[in-house]
Every structure is written in C-alpha cells, then in structure tokens.
Amino acid sequence: MDKIKIAIIGMGNRGRRYAYQIGQNPNAEITAVCEKNPAHLYAAAERYGVKKENAFLSDTEFFKRGKLADALVIATQDRDHYGHAIAALNAGYQLLLEKPVSPIPSECEEIAALAHEKNLQVVVCHVLRYSAFYDTIKRVIDSGAIGEILSINDIENVGYWHFSHSYVRGNWRNESETGPSILAKCCHDLDIIYYFSGKKCQEVFSSGSRKLFLRENAPDGATDYCLAPCPHRKTCAYDVKKIYYGITRHTIPKMGVHIKVITGMAKPKLKDLKEVLKTSPYGRCVYKCDNDVMENQNVALCLDGGVSANLTMTAFSRGCFRRLCISGTKGEIIGIDGEGKFRLNIFGGVSKTVKVSSGGIFGHLGGDRMIVSDFIEFLRTGIAPARLSAIDVTLESHRIAFAAEESRKTGKAVKLKVES
C-alpha cells in the first residue's frame, strides 16, 4: 500500500510535534506545508522533503491548489480553525484538527455538519485519551473492575510557569483573541470525563477568579519587561530568565522547548532568545499584560444517571499534572498522570499499583504519538479505532465548556440541551 499523504497547516509548536510523529511513521509522508512564518515554513519543507511548489506562506494560496494530500493537520490558532476546516472539508481532506475546534459554538456545529455532509472524518486532538495512563484506566473501567462509575474528580494543575507562558504572556491570554482558558486548556479534561463515564452532561455550574496577574499587584518599581532590568527579578518566580533559560536553586527552565515560538526563528541560539525577550510579549512583566482569562476555575457537572463530576483548573502549582479520582460501586482509581502509575482499590478486595509508561512530560504523555498513529491507521484501513476522538463525540467537551462560561458569567447553573 502506498504511503498516506498528509499536509499540515500551522508549523508552530503543535504543528511541529505532529510533523515529527508523522515523519516517524513508516506508513505516511508529509507532502505539503503551509505556515506564515518563512523561517518555520522552509525549515519544515527541508526537513520533510516537501517540494518547493508545495510550501505555502499563504493559506489562501494553499487552498487554491485544491487537494494536495489524503489528509490535513490543522494546527493554526484557535480562531483560524473554522475557516481552515471548512475550506479543507470542501476540498475533500480528512482532518486531524487541533483543539479547541473553535471558541465559537456555532462554528463547532457547522464543522461537524459539513463533515457529515461530505462523509469525511474530523478527528479532534484530545490527545490525553491516547496516552498510556488514560488508555489503561479506560480499559480497567471497561472491564467492570470498579463497577458503575458514580463520580469523577479531576484537578488540572497547569503549572505556574506554563500558565504564565501560555495564558498570561502568550497566545491564549485574552478571551476575545482566542477563547476562555476552561476551553483552551481543559476541553481535554472534559473530554476525559465523558470518555470514562460514557454519560452526557445535563447541568453545569461554574465559578472562577483572577487573583494574581493583575496590574494592581505589580510590585513598586516593576518594569514593563523583565530584562529592563526589573529590580524584582531575583525574587519574582515569573522572571523570564527563571522560566526560559536560567537554572537557580529553586527553578529549572520549563519552557525552553518554545524557543522557536518565542523567537520566530528556525534555529535560534540562546543569545537570540535573550535579545528577543527584551521586547517580546513573552518578556513582559506578568502583572502588566493584557490577559483576562481565568486563573482558577471550578466546574461541577451533573451527568446522566445521577453521576457527578468535578473539574478544577488552577494556575498555581509547581508542576504541570492532573490528579484524578474515579469512584465506582465496586472500587476506585486514584492517580497523577505524570507519575506513570495509578492506584486501583477494590472494595473488600485487592489494592494495587498499576504501572504504565509515563510517556514523558512533553508530547502529552505519549498521546501525540498515538493519536497520529491511530489517525494514519484509520486512513489506511477505513476502520476507526474505539478511542478515536471523532468530532461528534468530542464536541460534548466543548458544549460543557461553553455552558461553564455562561454559568461563570451569570452565576447560575446552565442546563445543556439534549442532543437527539
């Protein structure tokens, strides 16, 4: 069988991750790339052997060429997803679409409807369900070991360094430009709740807050940019040197992986990063940005059959991980996803630690690799794996997120419409 041909639009951090995984798969090849940053575009085209005529700086020019591959990976910014997905479906592409589908509810539904009309698959990148940690838990649940699920509690610890990078200084900081953090960050978690329970949500109540990243909290004398230099750099946990490249007794740079995003360069050096941070949005004082998304939010869900679920998202944790507790009629599952293990307690029976591959902190615990593998296998065989996150299923997470935002803003519980 010939290799599956895949095009990619958007070669930022996520697009490069998917490109790498496609490049590692013997059954697929990248045949076209679209990216508005010339350095990233031409670096990707060279790395994956894409012909010059199939490397596009303009999305308009890309879609003018018609269908250039069997499938398209859409890894652009959130508010670009709708236009790119509609154009791609009309061109006949099968889609691997980065989450969220869109920050606008009607656009999500339109994409799903057009996919049905064209008889095409849209796989949404809810990558957690493909990682070994969550995949193993799903198999334990499906085995009946803990009986019928009664409640799920999920705490999404974003990590203070990750939150400052993405949701204070970065691309997902402002709801009007992208979407609310409960959608951008936590549609993963809402999808996992639905995936594990199999129960749709009837009612949502949510509350949230912004407490720290506010202008009134800037210490006296704080400069607009950390490298100005600011007199508080030594004591500030959010100093860009600590976050991006400087090792101290208490911190290790966590976000250096995004050096290409920050600099806009294909092969940046440390000196390039330091120079760019003097004026880049990523170099700003965290108290003086234009962010408005929630730093801390709780979502309480009433699911079908009397099942309850609770999701807490917080920016204020040292590490970036999820803590999960699932209670069933016969037992419980308790674990932290980054540890590569969880506890399975059977009431009146065995209690054991189930070890899984951690998958590493990057690549969503191995989920990036496995979603690409499953997607390619689907394209080759036409058979959708059970865990494939098709748009009809995964839109449940988006509908809950939209309802959660409505609840947070109105202070009232929101009932979800029952889909026929």
CA separation for the pair 103, 401 (Å, rounded)? 10
pLDDT of residue 149: 98
* Domains of the chain, residue spans: 4-124, 128-211+291-364+389-415, 215-283
CA separation for the pair 378, 394 (Å, rounded)? 17
Superfamily (CATH) of domain 128-211+291-364+389-415: Dihydrodipicolinate Reductase; domain 2 (3.30.360.10)
Handedness of CA 161, 165, 168, 173 (dihedral sign): negative
pLDDT of residue 33: 98
CA distances from 362 to 71, 109, 255 (A): 25, 31, 11
Tokens representing 337 are 């996803």
Q: Extract long-range pairs of 244-253: CB within 8 Å, 24+ residues apart.
A: 244/273, 244/277, 244/282, 245/270, 245/273, 245/274, 251/161
pLDDT of residue 55: 98
The answer to whether 82 and 375 have CB atoms below 8 angstroms apart is no
pLDDT of residue 202: 97
Q: pTM surpassing 0.85?
A: yes
- Residue segments in the chain with a per-residue pLDDT below the cut of 50: 420
pLDDT of residue 419: 58
**Percent share of the chain, pLDDT over 90:** 91
pLDDT of residue 399: 97
CA separation for the pair 157, 347 (Å, rounded)? 29
What are the E-state strand segments in 10-100?
A: 28-34, 55-56, 71-74, 94-97
pLDDT of residue 417: 77
pLDDT of residue 192: 97
Look up the CATH number of domain 4-124: 3.40.50.720
